[in-house]
Amino acid sequence: MGTRTFKSDEVDRLTERDRRRQEWYLNEMKKKRRAMLILGGMGIAAILVLVGIIMLLVHVFSPKDTAVIEDKLSKTKSSEISLVDNMADEKVSFGSGEELQNSKVNTSERGLIVIDPGHGGYDSGCISSLKYEKEIDLEIAMLLSEKLKAKGFSVYMTRIDDSFVGINDRAILANECEGALALISIHQNSSENSSDEGVEAWTSNDATNEQLAELIALEVSEKTGAINGGVVTKDNLVICSKAEMPAVIVECGYLSNKREAQNLCEPTYQEKIATGLANAVDGFLPEKTAK
């Protein structure tokens, strides 16, 4: 390669051109960096908005679209615990008007029946996407109370609102009802198997209890058309073993079964359950032979 010599002004021009080129290059780099920052920020913002929208959609739609039991296992456990737990109970609290609507004293010819709506307060029982078990239990109990009164019985309910009543207190309250003839504890079932369905009557191993339980399962199944799951005897049911009267826990149906859960929330279906239960009490305590 040949060598070339520059005049001094030519060298100045070259240096000036290099300086401008470098300045232009630095400017371009700055612009690029700013554009990248803006784009990145917009990207992150867009992702955040998208995530927000997705979370909102999931929140709004999922509970209503499916009758899925939330947290099936733990809820089933909590339901079981409240039936068999022997731990100390909390104080019983009722809303006002207890004396007016709810009395432990028998004032009728046919005698006094104790109705025990399951769960209550912070104890929701089984949970379906439609309703808590405690609500369904109370709704059926209220209907049963009316039907038993219409048949000439007095009724005492262990809870008449959304109060928590401990499992031991339920038996104590029932035993305070002098001469009470029977105790019906109202519950809804739950299973990990979503196809499980039908009415079951749980009780302790006792001939009289089993007789009442059999009538309950049969009558409720006949009135509602639900499968008769029959009598289930268990040794660890606090309310059945502590109550000093025939006592049965009726599991009216499975909240873990989508179709049955919908039925159990329906007032007309609840009415059929209550009618079946009242008929069972009627059959267990025929009019002239009240014990």
Binding stretches for Zn ion (CB under 5 A): 79, 118, 125, 187
Burial of 178 (0-12, 13-18, 19+ CB in 10 A): exposed
Provide, rounded to whole angstroms, the least separation between the CB of residue 133 and Zn ion.
Answer: 5
Provide, rounded to whole angstroms, the least separation between the CB of residue 119 and Zn ion.
Answer: 6
Provide, rounded to whole angstroms, the least separation between the CB of residue 207 and Zn ion.
Answer: 25
Question: Distance (Å, rounded) from C-alpha 142 to C-alpha 188?
Answer: 15
Please identify, using beta-carbon distances, which residue of 23 and 80 lies nearer to Zn ion: 80
Provide, rounded to whole angstroms, the least separation between the CB of residue 97 and Zn ion.
Answer: 25
Question: Distance (Å, rounded) from C-alpha 68 to C-alpha 129?
Answer: 6
Residues 75/193, Cβ–Cβ less than 8 Å? no
DSSP-assigned states of every residue in 254-269: ETTSHHHHHHHH-HHH
* Other beta carbons less than 10 A from residue 227's beta carbon: 16
> What is the DSSP-derived secondary structure letter of residue 212?
H
Please identify, using beta-carbon distances, which residue of 79 and 263 lies nearer to Zn ion: 79
Provide, rounded to whole angstroms, the least separation between the CB of residue 48 and Zn ion.
Answer: 42
Provide, rounded to whole angstroms, the least separation between the CB of residue 264 and Zn ion.
Answer: 12
Question: Minimal CB distance to Zn ion: which residue?
Answer: 187
Q: Using alpha carbons, select from 79, 76, 100 the residue that is nearest to residue 193.
A: 76
Please identify, using beta-carbon distances, which residue of 118 and 276 lies nearer to Zn ion: 118
Please identify, using beta-carbon distances, which residue of 187 and 272 lies nearer to Zn ion: 187
Ranges of beta strands (E only) in the chain are 112-117, 154-157, 182-189, 199-203, 228-233, 247-254
**234 CB contacts (<8 Å, ≥6 apart)?**
84, 202, 203, 204, 240
Please identify, using beta-carbon distances, which residue of 125 and 166 lies nearer to Zn ion: 125
Please identify, using beta-carbon distances, which residue of 118 and 120 lies nearer to Zn ion: 118
